[in-house]
Amino acid sequence: MLLIAAGWIAVLLVGGGIALDRTLTNLVERNFDEQLEYILTAMIGSAEIEAGGEVFFNRILGDQRFLEPNSGLYWQINGEGYEPYPSRSLWDRTLQLQGDHFDDEAHFYDSAQFDGEQLRMVERSVILPNSEVRWTFAVASETDELDDQIAEIRGILISSFALLGLGLLLMTLFQIRYGLSPLRRVRAAIQKLRNTGASSISEPLPTEVQPLVQELNELLEHSERQAEEARTHAGNLAHALKTPLTVLTNAATARDPKLDRLVFRETKSMQRHVDHHLARARAVGRRSSGRSRAEVWPSVESVLRAVTRIHQGVRFDLAGNQEAAVAIERQDLDEILGNLVENAAKYGGGSVFVTVDAEPDDHHSIIWVEDDGMGIPDGERERIFDRGVRLDTGKPGTGLGLAIVRDVAEIYGGSVTLGESEDLDGLLVRLSLPRAATVAD
């Protein structure tokens, strides 16, 4: 930031300095030329013709430098057929005029006809009264004084702009340090956060960095929530595996003759628990990896084909919006729909009806899974989502299917609720998942 500011300050000051230098130089040069032209006008106004045709001044020019030899200020009058009429300051020298043409107006030009003396000259051609001769009046002045004035102006400009540039750089440095001081305070707050073990930044900070602090606190809260979820699921998995392991240990110690069946049953239970927690962990990882998208209709068709092979006597129907897409990974969507459809086929009476986009909602896709079974009483519809809960213990299962469905759906911002099917008089599972952004979005 300081280098960029220094670059722009240098460019602007140099550009402005050059423009101001040219402006002031032109003003000084113009003033110098106006003084020469004033003297020239005074010469022409004072000039008259003698009886013999010679030119003379009816009054003396006021500047005493015209009387001092080699003073640096000269005048001269040339006339065709007459000797040049010079000022005393020229002494034994003569100005070489550009008098080969007629100048109605004052004509300025530079001349180096004298060694070591640069001259600024102005001349004008006039025809005086009582004379038909073209007289050329000229005034010349050395430019040392003009150059000194220009050099003095440039010195003032350079020193002034240098001080101005230094002041601007110091002000920019102060502004940068002052402007970035809230970030240094944020850094100090983060260091304090790390050293003290606090969960968020609570100290008051400037308004400019409050959005950053808010996002940082939300990130810390999100990380803490994820860590707590990880700890919770690790504890749940350990608790879920503890009972089967205890059963197997006791059976092996007692040399239970049914040990083989116990091993098969308990290992299946442990495998289901492990699959449940792995599915949730994968869903969390995939959700954090970026924007997800899955087509609902192909996923439902794939699940129905798989479940049909297991429950060949069940009739499956599918209806709704074939273009619906949800913001979830295809593998997780298959996991959710597979559990719901399999439960409907297992506990229903032989009919399963899946409807995609069953309710109008711009932000969520609502999927109904209905069956014609006995349904679930109102008082049990919330408890059934708990891990290990099964209302029908006469059929195989671990009671983890709906728990997996709810956990994975909530990870993606969705929800699962239970109701009663009006068409099939059985259970209605209402799955709500956020819609995926369109390709154009």
Q: Which residue has the tokens 């006809």?
A: 113
Residue 187 lies in a domain: no
Find the domain containing 232 and state its range.
211-288
**What is the count of structural domains for the chain?**
3
Q: What pLDDT is recorded for position 226?
A: 73
Q: What is the pLDDT of residue 11?
A: 93
With respect to residue 130, please indicate whether it lies within any of the assigned structural domains: yes
Instruction: Choose the final residue of a domain: 97, 121, 150.
Output: 150
Contact 400, 382 (CB under 8 A): no
CB 371 within 8 A of CB 351: yes
Q: What is the dihedral of CA 324, 325, 327, 333, to 10 degrees?
A: 90
Q: How is residue 184 written in tokens?
A: 């240094």
The pLDDT profile of the chain, 441 residues, written as one tens digit per residue, is 889 999 999 999 999 999 999 999 999 999 999 999 999 999 988 888 887 788 888 887 778 888 899 899 999 998 888 888 899 999 889 998 876 677 778 889 999 888 888 999 999 988 888 888 888 999 999 998 889 999 999 999 999 999 999 999 999 999 888 888 888 888 888 888 778 777 777 777 777 778 888 888 888 887 787 777 777 667 666 766 777 788 778 878 888 787 777 787 778 777 776 776 676 666 665 555 446 789 999 999 999 999 998 888 899 999 999 999 999 888 889 889 998 999 899 888 899 999 999 888 889 999 999 999 888 888 787 877 765 444 444 444 444 567 778 888 888 889 999 999 988 889 999 999 999 887 554
Q: 3-state SS string over the chain?
A: CHHHHHHHHHHHHHHHHHHHHHHHHHHHHHHHHHHHHHHHHHHHHHEEECCCCCEEECCCCCCHHHHCCCCCEEEEEEECCCCCEECHHHCCCCCCCCCCCCCCCCEEEEEEEECCEEEEEEEEEECCCCCCCCEEEEEEEECHHHHHHHHHHHHHHHHHHHHHHHHHHHHHHHHHHHHHHHHHHHHHHHHHHHHHCCCCCCCCCCHHHHHHHHHHHHHHHHHHHHHHHHHHHHHHHHHHHHHHHHHHHHHHHCCCCCHHHHHHHHHHHHHHHHHHHHHHHHHHHHHHCCCCCEEHHHHHHHHHHHHHHHCCCCEEEEEECCCCEECCCHHHHHHHHHHHHHHHHHHCCCEEEEEECCCCCCCEEEEEEEECCCCCCHHHCCHHHCCCCCCCCCCCCCCCHHHHHHHHHHHCCCEEEEEECCCCCCEEEEEEEEECCCCCC
Is 114 found in the same domain as 50? yes
> Are residues 419 and 320 part of one domain?
yes
Q: Is 251 a member of any domain?
A: yes
* Residue 440 included in any domain: no
86: nearest Cα among 67, 105, 110, 108: 67
In a domain, 142, yes or no: yes
Judge contact between 402 and 415, C-beta under 8 A: no
Query: Which residues, listed in sequence order, are joined to residue 124 by a DSSP beta bridge?
Result: 137
Domain co-membership, 299 together with 427: yes
Q: Is residue 119 one of the residues assigned to a domain?
A: yes
Same domain, 374 and 347: yes
CATH number for 425:
3.30.565.10
Answer yes or no: do 310 and 346 share one domain.
yes
- What are the tokens at 386? 């708990």
Residue 299 lies in a domain: yes
Largest CA distance in the chain: 160
* Residue found under tokens 């001259």: 119
Asked whether residue 8 falls in the same domain as residue 80, the answer is: yes
Domain closes at, from 134, 150, 166: 150
State the CB neighbour count (10 A cutoff) for residue 436: 19
Residue 356 shares a structural domain with residue 417: yes
Among 288, 305, 337, the domain boundary falls at 288
CB 357 within 8 A of CB 320: yes
349 and 252 assigned to the same domain: no
**Same domain as 421, residue 312:** yes
- List the structure tokens of 341: 């459809």
CATH number at residue 22: 3.30.450
Looking at residue 239, its pLDDT comes to 66
Neighbours of 387 (CB within 10 A): 19
pLDDT score of 131: 81
CA–CA separation, 304 and 302 (whole Å) = 6
The verdict on residue 157 lying in a domain is no
Residues 284 and 327 in one domain: no
Bridge partners of residue 216, in order along the sequence: none
Decide if 284 contacts 232 (C-beta within 8 A): no
Is residue 434 classed exposed, middle or buried when 0-12, 13-18 and 19+ CB atoms within 10 A define those classes?
middle
Are 6 and 95 part of one and the same domain? yes
Distances (CA, A) of 145 to 23, 28, 29, 66, 180: 18, 11, 11, 16, 52
pLDDT value for 283: 61
Angle between helices 259-288 and 210-253 (to 10 degrees): 170
Note whether 317 and 408 are same-domain residues: yes
